[in-house]
Amino acid sequence: MKSICVIGIGYVGLPTAAMFASKGHRVVGYDLNEKAVNALNKGEIIIEEPGLGDLVKDVVKKGFLTAQTTCPDDCDVYIIAVPTPINPDKTADMRFVESATRAVVPCVRKGCIVILESTSPPRTVEDLMLPILKESGLEIGEELLVAHSPERILPGRVIEELRTNSRIVGGINEKSSVAVKEVYESIVEGEILLTTSTTAEMCKLMENTFRDVNIALANELAKMSEELGVNAWDVIRMANYHPRVNILSPGPGVGGHCIALDPWFLVEKSKNAKLIHQSRLNNDSMPEFVKDKIEKIIGGLNGKSVAIYGVTYKPNIDDVRESPIMHLMDMLKGAGVNVSVCDPHAGEKVAGNKGIYDASEGCDILVLGVNHNEFKDVDFAKLTAKMNAKNILDTRNFWKKTDVEAAGAKYYLLGDGTR
């Protein structure tokens, strides 16, 4: 059994560390965030993810997983799972990958393995990491093995997907690929595909870009449908009967720390990434499109009251990073709107978070931003009882028009231009 250090115990590093620990590896989580380290050492987690709490509690109790704020120098494998945020000019901020790589240098010895899991621009391993790792004095690819193995887990299903998804392992040489494959074999039941580090970086970016471009197409369909008097959701439902068509769902925009950012890494690196660039812009324009729709429905914004239901970047998680609904709320507030909010998952991540039947009081419109399970079987009569004007805008095609209308409210649907 190898001892493994996971650098960065956030959304990706923590479940990965816990999975390795559950297979009997000694795992050390290294993170500068004392709050995360202290919580982990108590067997607690500070993020919401189904199944993760129990898994962490169990492996910490058994002594397989510990955390610390310094990099341990006695591990066989160092997995870098730090964030790769984006700068205001949409270029990648690689400072965390760089400092994690530097932290590893004094800790590694002959035979160690360094793996980059963080999503990174093409050539990061070759051009950023290897020059730093050479400072260890070890022969790269022989005495120190290096690879990129991108995480591909879906928030909300990370435990299941860590185990069952296939895994790409891109070594800087074959020896590295083979050694890293062996590491992941203890937790991955899916296929492990071997390639080069730069191809692995490109694969990960193209997976999320594929989704971003396809969501952009769905969002463009929603805009065209409102313009041309069509219901986009009917179009999607029927077009998708075609055996080779699968149009995704329009919505208030693309959020999260992955799909909303990763395509920019390609735009930064390649002047040919034109469709990718335009898709990013399309998706980023959706909060404003929703804001304009709200304005049209309630006849202005300044001084009006809007209740927002769901602010996380997608349903049934607590993550508000890059959430398009958070952008929408900022825009509405900037236009003089009194915004009230209800999100059963976001907790204190959103200020003034209210209960389901409180947040709608006095509003001129209720906007469903995210289709959390808690909103599924709402009592529309109770929900709309104290609204100033009974307007509901559904941005997810989640509620039934007939249910809303039965409560005497008007139902508007993003992408429906038929009314």
| Site for ligand SAJ, rule CB under 6 A | 119, 151-155, 207-208, 211, 215, 248-249, 251, 254-256, 258-259, 313-314
Residue whose CB is nearest to ligand SAJ in the complex, by number:
258
Sign of the torsion formed by the C-alpha atoms of 172, 174, 176 and 178: positive
Query: Measured at the alpha carbon of residue 100, what is the angle toward residues 95 and 104, in degrees to the nearest 5?
Result: 150
Given the complex with ligand SAJ, which of 29 and 83 has the nearer CB atom? 83
Given the complex with ligand SAJ, which of 57 and 277 has the nearer CB atom? 277
For residues 129 and 105, the answer to whether their CB atoms sit within 8 Å is: no
Q: Which residues contact 241 (CB under 8 A, 6 or more apart)?
A: none
Given the complex with ligand SAJ, which of 44 and 160 has the nearer CB atom? 160
Residue 36's H or E segment, with its range, is helix 34-41
Half-sphere exposure of 335 (CA within 13 A, CB side): 19
Least Å distance, CB 211 to ligand SAJ, is: 4
Strand 144-148 relative to strand 167-171: parallel, antiparallel, unpaired? antiparallel
Least Å distance, CB 151 to ligand SAJ, is: 6
CA dist 132 and 23 (Å) reads 31
Given the complex with ligand SAJ, which of 206 and 385 has the nearer CB atom? 206
Given the complex with ligand SAJ, which of 215 and 404 has the nearer CB atom? 215
Strand 65-68 relative to strand 26-30: parallel, antiparallel, unpaired? parallel
Least Å distance, CB 170 to ligand SAJ, is: 16
Least Å distance, CB 291 to ligand SAJ, is: 17
Tokens of 140: 């790269």
Given the complex with ligand SAJ, which of 57 and 157 has the nearer CB atom? 157
- Rounded to 10 deg, the angle between the 197-228 and 232-239 helix axes is 130
Sign of the torsion formed by the C-alpha atoms of 376, 379, 382 and 384: positive
Least Å distance, CB 137 to ligand SAJ, is: 34
Other beta carbons less than 10 A from residue 25's beta carbon: 22
Using CA atoms, how far residue 396 sits from 51, 71, 128, 379, in Å, is 26, 44, 41, 18
Catalytic residues: 204, 258
Among residues 166, 265, 269, 258, the alpha carbon closest in space to that of 215 is found at 258
3-state secondary structure of 212: helix
Residue 221's H or E segment, with its range, is helix 197-228
Least Å distance, CB 387 to ligand SAJ, is: 26
Given the complex with ligand SAJ, which of 29 and 369 has the nearer CB atom? 369
Least Å distance, CB 382 to ligand SAJ, is: 27
CA dist 48 and 158 (Å) reads 11
